[in-house]
Amino acid sequence: MIATTTSGLDSKAWKIAFVMPAGMSVNELPHPNNARVSVRELPAQECVALSFKGRANAELCKKQEELLRSLARSAEFSLSEETRIARFDPPFKPGFLQYNEIVIPLSK
């Protein structure tokens, strides 16, 4: 499954990443044909996540982020400032069927 993640709910500079299937190496991925696109492997990272259904607009994502941060505080997790939105479905899929996650890395 491929997920699109965007960093920064309120940021004007978004980073877009595609998560590739487990077990694939960087060498097995297609090479980008645009110099602004890079392929790199990132180290494993511990995060908290909250899944939700619906069209992942700014209002719904902000609400889910606040809920996840509240739950994490209750569990005494220390979180980073970064927020990721993982969208798993194409935009033409009806909004009520779309599966998404809010993902927040634990602070170091």
Counted domains in the chain: 1
Q: What is the pTM of this model?
A: 0.77
In order, the DSSP letters of the chain are --EEEEE-SS-SS--EEEEPPTT--GGGSPPPSSTT----------EEEEEEES---HHHHHHHHHHHHHHHHHTT--B-S--EEEE-S-TTS-GGG-EEEEEEEBP-
pLDDT tens for residues 66-104? 999 999 999 999 999 989 999 999 889 999 999 999 999
Structural domain harbouring 8: 3-105
Question: Rounded mean pLDDT of the chain?
Answer: 85
* Residue 34 scores a pLDDT above 50: yes
